[in-house]
Structure 1
Amino acid sequence: MYSITFKFEQKGLEPVTLEQVAPDQSLLEVALTNDIELHHNCGGVCACSTCHLYVEQGEDLVEEISDKEEDFIDRAVNPRLNSRLGCQCVLLPGKQGNITVTIPDQTQFLGE
């Protein structure tokens, strides 16, 4: 089981920590299941970059980045070395630990 902390660049949003999160689901799925807004224009199939986030801690606890994901991250707003797509960060089975992610300010996507 995992402990996942979601931080937000958007002003006024406090961090949210989720405990006892089961593996085999993406960070996008975890966010949406717990009423944490994370845009996903393509429906979570690695065809856009709107579920872009920054993995601050626990990168070794999610699936490795693919070439396809890297291509879409290059199109994201303000990509960094720790950028990932939430739809592609699947929690690995057989592991446990703490993951911390930061969701970029998504107000830039309003109206899309």
Structure 2
Amino acid sequence: MKAVNITFKFQDGQPAQTHVAAEGESVLDVALNNDIQLQHNCGGVCGCSTCHVYIVAGEQDLPEISDAEEDFIDRAENPRINSRLGCQCVVQGNADVVVLIPPQHFLGH
């Protein structure tokens, strides 16, 4: 497997960042390993919707969306057809991935 790049774009105006992902890492893992703030109230186990992102490109090489993930996306703010949970987008192919992170609402900060 070749190195897969994940490019993070931000709706709040931050400059985009691109980072290399290893096979088996999730979008959430790569974000957290590179100091990109992406909420994950459940700890990244598909138990909430706080790591909600939009997949702009590369969705064909991510796992199919599960029923549980789809249920949580329905609870996310502003879900779209390309909505996914960062914890469930695990690198498994060769396509680079582009992710758009919607504005985050950090409670208690």
Q: By the TM > 0.5 criterion, same fold?
A: yes
User: TM-score when scaled to structure 2?
Assistant: 0.92
State yes or no: 1:109 paired with 2:103: no
Q: Could you tell me which residue of structure 2 aligns to residue 72 of structure 1?
A: 72
Q: How is 1:25-36 mapped onto 2 (pairs within 5 angstroms)? A: 25-36=25-36
Q: Could you tell me which residue of structure 2 aligns to residue 18 of structure 1?
A: 19
Q: CA offsets per residue over residues 40-74 of structure 1, 9 Å max, x none?
A: 00000111000000000000111110000000000
Query: Percent same amino acid among aligned pairs?
Result: 58
Structure 1: gaps (5+ residues) = none
State the Cα RMSD in Å.
1.3
User: TM-score when scaled to structure 1?
Assistant: 0.90
- Equivalent pairs counted in the alignment come to 107
User: Which secondary structure does the structure 1 equivalent of 2:54 belong to?
Assistant: strand
2:55 and 2:77 map into 1 onto residues whose CA distance is 15
State yes or no: 1:6 paired with 2:12: no
Structure 2: gaps (5+ residues) = none
